[in-house]
Amino acid sequence: MVRGVCLLIAGLAVLSGQALAQELYPSRPVRWIVPFPAGGPTDTLSRILTARLTELWGQGVVVENKGGASGAIGTDYTAKSTPDGYTVMLGTQSTNASNMLFFPNLPYDPIKDFQPLTLIGTACMALVIAPNIPANTPKELVDWAKKQDGGVSYASAAAGSSQHVAAELMVRRADMKATHIPYRGSSAAMPDLMSGRVAFMFDNLPNALPTAKAGKVKALAQTCATRSPSAPDLPTMEESGFPDFAIEGWYGIFAPAKTPRPIVDKLSADINKVLMEPASLEKWKTLGFDPIGTTPEAFGERQKADLAYWKKMIDYTGIKVE
């Protein structure tokens, strides 16, 4: 009897300690992993969110860029981190969905090794070209490309990314000759596009719009199903003569699997709060980013459903990633 009472008291003490630790979360800095290089859309979105979370929590939220291998390096790092809420990651439909279709030997499972926190939003892409190319519409770009001896080259943020899929979809539909040049993130590709070393790329609106508005590249169309409020004057690919060409990517926050539920709930609630604050909404508008904010469960369902969508797109384009 005495032993049973002691065990009960010990168990309650452990639970009380865990509850207290979770109640005080975060009590030290949080690492925010971006699995792509600095300067791209995932990095831009992360720095806006983490600056406000730092103020909200009174603890530093430190962005760490761990790019490479189509996002797999930083994603694997997060998957293998301690599930205590002090390492989270901003993932995409490639890092946590379609990569498992391209890379069957990934060192992590994009679904099982992660705890979804919230789908922060979606963003379609813009078809952008070098400023010296004499084209103002997608069809004019195709006509120009077909006249180039040996074809043209196009950039993407990574092999197997949504940018890669969108470009190959256009190349197939237009029956044009183009060579894919993968980079380590959009920010790495943009200088070569601006200089004309590559002819075009599909880049996420949060990254493409500011560069196009500055006149450094030309934006010809967007892949949204309907025109984004951030780019009302930019026609869609479907309006430009490419039917059934609506492609959007998503951005979401993940923690390692087995992160305690109270911490999961707090992270999800606080990130959603910051996401929808008036000051944040103004910033999203200028970036062409459509914020959403979801429960962890809803985000998990979206993540799994996207696998079927991207498999269909990958099968059609025939993309293979070595």
Q: Are 130 and 193 in contact (CB under 8 A)?
A: yes
Distance in angstroms (rounded) separating the CA atoms of residues 189 and 160: 15
Asked if the bond preceding 104 is cis, omega within 30° of 0, the reply is: no
Q: Answer yes or no: is 35 within a domain.
A: yes
Regarding pTM above 0.75, the answer is: yes
pLDDT in tens, 133-185: 999 999 999 999 999 998 999 999 888 888 999 999 999 999 999 999 999 88
- Residue 182 sits in the same domain as residue 36: no
pLDDT in tens, 83-132: 999 999 999 988 998 888 888 889 999 999 999 999 999 889 999 999 99
CATH assignment at residue 293: 3.40.190.150
Q: Answer yes or no: is 238 within a domain.
A: no
- Residue 289 sits in the same domain as residue 269: yes
Strands 87-92 and 61-65: unpaired
Cα–Cα distances (Å) from 305 to 37, 168, 255, 299, in that order, read: 27, 22, 19, 10
- 284, with CB counted inside 10 A (0-12, 13-18, 19+), is buried
- Residue 119 sits in the same domain as residue 134: no
DSSP state of 7: H
Last residue of a domain, one of 187, 222, 257: 222
CATH assignment at residue 203: 3.40.190.10
Q: What total number of domains does the chain contain?
A: 2
Coil, helix or strand for 64?
A: strand
- Residue 261 sits in the same domain as residue 116: yes
- Residue 35 sits in the same domain as residue 84: yes
Task: Evaluate if residue 58 carries a pLDDT over 60.
Answer: yes
Alpha helical stretches, state H, 132-287: 138-146, 162-174, 186-195, 205-213, 261-275, 278-287
Tokens of 169: 């979809």
- Residue 107 sits in the same domain as residue 54: yes
- Residue 146 sits in the same domain as residue 96: no
Q: Answer yes or no: is 5 within a domain.
A: no
Query: What is the residue range of 152's domain?
Result: 130-222
